[in-house]
Amino acid sequence: MAKIRPSQGSPYARIMGVGGYRPTRVVPNEVILETIDSSDEWIRSRSGIATRHWASDEETVAMMSIEASGKAIADAGITPEQIGGVIVSTVSHFKQTPAIATEIADRIGAGRPAAFDISAGCAGFGYGLTLAKGMVVEGSAEYVLVIGVERLSDLTDLEDRATAFLFGDGAGAVVVGPSQEPLIGPTVWGSEGDKSNTIMQTVPWDDYRDKKVEKFPALTQEGQAVFRWAVFEMAKIAQQALDAAGITSADLDVFIPHQANMRIIDSMVKTLKLPEHVTVARDVETTGNTSAASIPLAMERLLATGQAKSGDTALVIGFGAGLVYAATVVTLP
């Protein structure tokens, strides 16, 4: 039997740079109230959201991704030609094939990297980060670009009182590269498919195509069920990620959960008993729920505003449709 030569990668991986893009249009709650029977006070009390960004026709999934990627690559101090892998997490690229990652790779000048899309909802950034880490350590790519991008305004039913106010658009990206020390911890990830109907697309695409329904597919969710699951079950997953990294909450500098809902974030902080010194990302107030983009967008804002700094230890956790989740501890770039 022939012996296969082992892979020659880096001992470890790290996040080297981060970038984000928010559409120029800022949409306050007052705009949402034009189509649903609610109030600004109700929306803020239920979600913590005051404004969100909605993309224009020109701000496509590709365009937003390219803008965020350019910032992340510059922040990492490398050139696009050095990118060996492009991973895009999105549920709002409406072409089944080819993957939008291939177009993005070409347009940023990355050459001929491995490029593919993943669909893991609001946990997509964590899934992509884990895959990128594996590629760097395995040696199939030295630098991997991970993008979370959504145009959820395309999938929002503005007449659905339960979800019309939740979603926003945007793109976040990070560059993952080699490291001589472990700066991305073990990932705790998984799925609970028996709960898949709690967050889902209202109807399949072919129902709309075949005119079985007249309304364009949108996102819907069972709010209370999702809330309970996120607060209680995801706090356990977050604790498992801390345990896997060999640290405690006292060792954390930053907590960056998926920006789903301010009440969920605050409840997780309480359940995890995070110390007061831990900076908590609350980007949801002005960005809304951007699914796979929410963690890198929140990470970029914390670093840009000085609320977090390079070298800080951060716990990141994403959770959403599937139901899927992914949590890990990282060192910020």
In the block, tokens 């998926």 appear at: 258
Has 122 been annotated as catalytic? yes
Cα separation, 284 vs 52, whole angstroms: 8
Dig out the tokens for 205 from the structure. 């695409």
Among the listed residues 29, 53, 122, 261, the single catalytic one is: 122
In the block, tokens 């109700």 appear at: 42
Tell me the CA distances in angstroms from 127 to 59, 77, 148, 186, 289, one per residue in order.
25, 24, 10, 12, 18
Dig out the tokens for 201 from the structure. 């697309």
Neighbours of 125 (CB within 10 A): 32
Tell me the CA distances in angstroms from 252 to 71, 94, 214, one per residue in order.
26, 38, 49
Among the listed residues 29, 53, 261, 289, the single catalytic one is: 289
Cα separation, 195 vs 63, whole angstroms: 33
Has 277 been annotated as catalytic? no
What's 166's DSSP letter? T
Among the listed residues 29, 53, 258, 261, the single catalytic one is: 258
Has 258 been annotated as catalytic? yes
CA 158 to chain centre: 23
Question: Do residues 27 and 142 make contact, with C-beta atoms less than 8 angstroms apart?
Answer: no
Kindly list the catalytic residues.
122, 258, 289
